[in-house]
Amino acid sequence: MNRQYPANAITITPMHRHKPSIAAAFKWEIRKVGNLWYWLATMLFDAVGIFNGWDQYQSYKPDFQAQGVTWAAVWGQAILLPSMVFMPVLVAAFAAQVEANEHKGRNWQRLNASGMVGTALAGKVMHGLLASLLTVAIFESEFILVGVLVGGFSPVELGPYLLRGVPMTLAVWAIMTLTQAIAARSESFASTMSIMFLLTLAGCALSLAAPSLALPYPLALITTASAARDMGNITSTASMVASSMAAILWVLISLLIFRHQARRAI
């Protein structure tokens, strides 16, 4: 069921003028999104990736133990499929569903009429960042639990993998914001997902064929940010900064497009 922004998404000043409340818009975004399917799917498909990573570790365990390699032996394979396929597709579906409902309920027209487009966009961006943080936190949590409880790995060596959560969160956020921008134009869930699926396939191909060229490509950002195909740079601060900056740039570009398309809804 489509929901509209409630009256309490704005506050009244003593001068009886409507003042948009970004905090209220953010809370409303959290309440109105039916996203249980997304979190369940994220946990499931992350587990598939973790299983792949653990299976590789078990297959070459004597070699890894001889080299003193633990977390790195699991991480590379564990994050590869989630970063290249599962996360981009699920994140796109999550954002596309939300924006399709906005169009069905003609919410953008109402927001334009009330002058609250900017407030709604701010709420959506904040919610997108929160959802991105939780998305990455689920993968990191499963990775840590398997490493500590099953593998007996030392948590002391987790630093680089936890730090990788920062550029990965920004990369997920970039994909979510880009999907919102595309959805604001295409309007339907099916058309938005068709575009995002094609972009995801292109990102997979680019990551496999030319990893060095995949850095600025939005649908390859998670793979680059996680260092899945460049484990030698897993601890590289420069690599993390470069991935973070690329993701932030795409967030800003996508937000500008999203804002333009939202203001055109009349």
Separation of alpha carbons 222 and 84, rounded Å = 7
Position 116 scores a pLDDT of: 79
Position 251 scores a pLDDT of: 97
Nearest in space to 193 (alpha carbons), one of 91, 57, 66: 91
Separation of alpha carbons 196 and 177, rounded Å = 12
Position 18 scores a pLDDT of: 55
Q: What region does 187 belong to: left with phi over 0, alpha with psi -120 to 50, or beta?
A: left
Q: What is the mean pLDDT of each run of 10 residues along the chain (266 residues)?
A: 47 46 80 82 97 94 92 95 96 91 73 78 91 97 96 94 97 96 86 94 87 85 92 92 96 93 72
Q: With contact defined as beta carbons under 8 Å apart, do 71 and 158 qualify?
A: yes
Show the CA angle centred on residue 61, arms to residues 220 and 163, nearest 5°.
40
**Chain centroid to CA 91: how far?**
6
Written as six digits, the tokens of 229 are 């195909």
Nearest in space to 146 (alpha carbons), one of 214, 15, 217, 51: 51
Position 211 scores a pLDDT of: 77
Position 34 scores a pLDDT of: 66
Q: With contact defined as beta carbons under 8 Å apart, do 21 and 11 qualify?
A: yes
Position 208 scores a pLDDT of: 83
Position 105 scores a pLDDT of: 63
Nearest in space to 197 (alpha carbons), one of 96, 104, 106: 96
Position 35 scores a pLDDT of: 82
Nearest in space to 262 (alpha carbons), one of 88, 123, 151, 74: 123
Position 238 scores a pLDDT of: 94
Q: What region does 112 belong to: left with phi over 0, alpha with psi -120 to 50, or beta?
A: alpha
